[in-house]
Structure 1
Amino acid sequence: MKFVKALWQDHGFHVDPTAYLAELPRLRGVLPPGAWAFASDPGHYDIPGAVRCVKDLELAGIHPATDKSGRLVLEFAPNRFKHDSGLLVSYSGVRHFSVDYHRAIDWMRVDTVLLDEILPDEEAGEDGVEAGGCVHEIALTDASITVRCQDLHAEWGAGS
């Protein structure tokens, strides 16, 4: 991630969205509408208090389309100590999806969200033209998810 910090330090994770929150106003009108609505939600990065903060959500499902529609759904279950409900993130126009495992934290039952970041997709396609859309990166306790897509829609109240 370019702005959000989600790092393992000593015996715990250090997360800090401060630099991304400073950058976020400049992304208005640049991010697709659904991505902007999700990223700019006032509770999104309210780590200590908001039930709509992504921190500590549990990865519950990955649902790629079985056709060529370019759709993908990530399902997150609520953390029972923090969230009232889960979250579904539906992606449209997916050009890239990856899950990269990079740690060996075997004492956790499931991968949980540390933080995420959504930026405009400035990577050029095969034809050399900017792809447009956005890149959603999600740092998990034991992995990271990257989705390049046209837009996304986040729906709280799902995955309960």
Structure 2
Amino acid sequence: MKYVTAVWDDGGFFVDPRAYLAELSKLRDQLPAGAWAFASDPAHYALGHGNSHCVKDLELSGIQVATDKSGGLTLEFAPNQWKHDSGLRISYSGVTHFSIDYEHSIGWMLVDTVLLDEILPDEDGGCVHEIALTDASITVRCADLQAVWGDAS
């Protein structure tokens, strides 16, 4: 990620969205509408307890890739029982790239959880969404995305 810090550091995680949040207002005219709405939600990066719409600690629970050439992709995240009231479903349109890169393995964790994410404009008018997970990172290059809080499982 370019601005967001989400790293494994000496047996723990260090996350910091402040540099991204400082740049975010400059990206408004460059991000597609759905990506902007999700990234600019004031709760998105509010890391404190009691914020059920912060992405941190959501659990990756499903990946649905279109089997046709529609360019659709859906990522589902289950709520963390200690933090979230509901899960999150992100539907991507016009996907031109999707990857999951495993960087390390944390044996005591049963599921991959979100550390933080970052959405940046792409040169073709779309966006690139990077999600740092506890064991991996997800990268999606797409035309736009729609994020809906609800019963993702």
TM-score by length of 1: 0.93
- Residue identity over aligned pairs, in percent, reads 72
Unaligned runs of 5+ in 2: none
CA drift of 1:29 comes to 1.4
Report the residue type matching 1:117 in the other structure: E
SS of 2:42's equivalent? coil
Unaligned runs of 5+ in 1: 123-130
Note the alpha carbon deviations across 1:106-127, whole angstroms, 9 max, x for none.
11000000000000012xxxxx
CA drift of 1:11 comes to 1.9
User: 2:145 aligned with 1:152, yes or no?
Assistant: yes
- 2:35: which partner in 1? 35
- 2:136: which partner in 1? 143
Note the alpha carbon deviations across 1:72-96, whole angstroms, 9 max, x for none.
0000000000000000000000000
Number of aligned pairs?
Answer: 152
1: CA distance, partners of 2:34 / 2:90: 10
- 1:5: which partner in 2? 5
- 1:72: which partner in 2? 73
- 1:87: which partner in 2? 88
1: CA distance, partners of 2:151 / 2:19: 29
2: CA distance, partners of 1:29 / 1:149: 16
2: CA distance, partners of 1:158 / 1:35: 20
SS of 1:100's equivalent? strand
TM-score by length of 2: 0.97
User: 2:120 aligned with 1:119, yes or no?
Assistant: yes
User: 2:107 aligned with 1:106, yes or no?
Assistant: yes
SS of 2:36's equivalent? helix
- 1:128: which partner in 2? none
1: CA distance, partners of 2:107 / 2:97: 28
C-alpha contact 2:30 2:125 (8 A) present in aligned 1: no
1: CA distance, partners of 2:11 / 2:56: 18
SS of 2:112's equivalent? coil
Q: Which runs of 4+ in 1 moved over 6 A?
A: none
1: CA distance, partners of 2:138 / 2:58: 14
